Amino acid sequence: MQTSKAAVFVEVEKPLEIREFPVPPVEAGGAIVRMEMAAICGSDVHFWHLASTPRPAIFGHENVGVLAALGREVTHDVLGTPLKEGDRVLFKRTNCGRCAGCNQSGNCRVNPPYGLRPSFDAPYLKGGFAQYVYLDTNPWLLRVPDDLSSERALLSITGNHTLLRGIEKIGGVALGDTVVVQGSGPIGLAAVVQSKIAGAGQVILVGAPASRLALGCEVGADVTVDLAGYPTPQARIDRVRELTGGQGADFVIEGSGGATAVTEGLGMVRNGGKYLVVGQIGITAPQPINTGVFVEKSLRVEGVAGGDSRSIIRSLKAMRSVVKYPVEKLITHRFPLEGIMEGFHRHETMEAMIAVVRPNG
């Protein structure tokens, strides 16, 4: 463990460079994780395209790994479970607890997430697209149970924790609700899973291509609306209304990031229904929305930007004991560190549902 390879973002839309860094000795209050698996998230690819993204940087913020070294002061995870080297863990930034972000939304503004911070100074290894990740002092660690696969552990933080938090924030899915999910990517399919385990009676999945819709059915979707067969927003609204007896859905979840998605979703939700917006993060272009719909339909509308500590813990527990769907199938492509750009490509072309990097093979 003297050195670690990492895929480094050095220039906009240029291939990530495989570089090697020294792995410093672990601090008394820190830890070092040997990466097992990191998901290629849409935000990783999005930031790769942006000139404003700080660089150099090591991406990779959805991670599962093995404790390679533990400082003497780190003895338990966030639930009080004893830790030892060799344990598998989920990890995230430790919130400072003092900033407005921590105290208003739970999203710290002082300590950037692993995988979303520049690597200007040693120890550099602050993202999951590396063989090792060097964790800050007083790390947030959650031990993965021995009887839970690493795939399920990773899936608990690839959208599922965010959707769990968002569904709770808006007041939950009522037992038997009809839920429409806009978008058949990782966020959309996490919305399908979380809606079903929360008690939805019917989940209608709107998206494309057909291969993703088929996966959606395997993890809980009851009906699909393929963009190929319903190519316009109005056609999709009409189809949802047809499927809901003309009333619209009780609950609509936007997980597509599409430019017309919000206006479209507002047309799909019934009077007095709920609309949760998840996929529009990073969208900066103005979008025309008839705000009168909020009042006319007496809607409850919420947005959620990510999971928090509580939702990560509960999502991991749900993957172990509640989620009975074959969610492992959502991980469709696996790449070595040197193949990471192929992973980016498969993500952008939607050939992959979830592509992961295995930095250590």
This prediction has a pTM of 0.94
Mark whether 26 and 50 lie in a shared domain.
yes
The range of the structural domain enclosing residue 247 comes to: 159-303
- The whole-angstrom separation of Cα 117 and Cα 50 is 14
User: Do 131 and 226 sit in the same domain of this protein?
Assistant: no
Residue 56's pLDDT is 94
Shared domain for 85 and 210, answered yes or no, is: no
Looking at the fold, whether 77 and 50 belong to one and the same domain comes out as yes
Do 67 and 23 belong to one domain?
yes
| 3 closest CA partner among 135, 136, 131 | 131
Q: Are strands 331-336 and 354-358 parallel, antiparallel or unpaired?
A: parallel
Q: What is the CATH number of the domain that holds 7?
A: 3.90.180.10
Q: How many CB atoms lie within 10 A of CB 47?
A: 20
137 and 9 housed in the same domain: yes
Given this model, what pLDDT does residue 288 score?
84
Residues 178 and 287 grouped into a single domain? yes
Bridge partners of 20? Answer: 5
pLDDT tens for the 361 residues of the chain, in order: 799 999 999 999 999 999 999 999 999 999 999 999 999 999 999 999 999 999 999 999 999 999 999 999 999 999 999 999 999 999 998 888 889 888 887 778 888 889 988 877 888 999 999 999 999 999 999 999 999 999 999 999 999 999 999 999 999 999 999 999 999 999 999 999 999 999 999 999 999 999 999 999 999 999 999 999 999 999 999 999 999 999 999 999 999 988 889 999 999 999 999 999 999 887 777 888 889 999 999 999 999 988 999 999 999 999 999 999 999 999 999 999 999 999 999 999 999 999 999 999 8
Tokens of 285: 């272009």
295 and 167 fall within a common domain: yes
What is the number of structural domains in the chain? 2
Is residue 95 one of the residues assigned to a domain?
yes
For residue 350, give both structure tokens.
Answer: 């939607």
Q: Does residue 154 lie within any of the structural domains?
A: no
Write out the two tokens for 31.
Answer: 């830890």
What confidence score (pLDDT) does residue 103 get? 86
Are 64 and 110 part of one and the same domain?
Answer: yes
Residue 104's pLDDT is what?
Answer: 82
CA dist 268 and 270 (Å) reads 7
The CA distance from 281 to 306, in Å, is 10
- Residues 9 and 344 sit within 8 Å (Cβ to Cβ): no
Helices H / strands E in the chain, number of each:
11, 15
Whether residues 85 and 212 share a domain: the answer is no
Is residue 151 a part of any domain in this protein?
Answer: no
Residue with tokens 């710290």: 108
Q: Are strands 63-70 and 88-92 parallel, antiparallel or unpaired?
A: antiparallel
Query: For residue 287, what is the domain's CATH number?
Result: 3.40.50.720
Q: Identify residue 81 by its one-letter amino acid code.
A: T
The answer to the question of residue 152 being in a domain is no
pLDDT reported for residue 95:
86
Same domain, 206 and 84: no
Q: Residue 70: what residue type?
A: L
Same domain as 167, residue 298 = yes
The token pair at 39 is 């998901």
> Is the Cα dihedral 134, 157, 331, 152 positive or negative?
positive
Supply the pLDDT for residue 356.
98
Residue located via tokens 């057909």 = 210
Instruction: Spell out the residues 6+ positions from residue 235 whose beta carbon is closer than 8 angstroms to its own.
Output: none
Q: Would you say residue 204 lies in a domain? A: yes
- The answer as to whether 78 is a domain residue is yes
Q: Report yes or no on 132 lying in a domain.
A: yes
Provide the pLDDT for residue 117: 84
Residue 269 confidence (pLDDT): 98
Domain-embedded: residue 7: yes
User: Who contacts 40 (Cβ-Cβ below 8 Å, separation ≥6)?
Assistant: 340, 343, 344, 347, 352, 354, 355, 356, 357
Q: Please say whether the beta carbons of 250 and 177 come within 8 A.
A: yes
- Per DSSP, the residues of 169-201 read HTT-PPTT-EEEEE--SHHHHHHHHHHHHTT-S
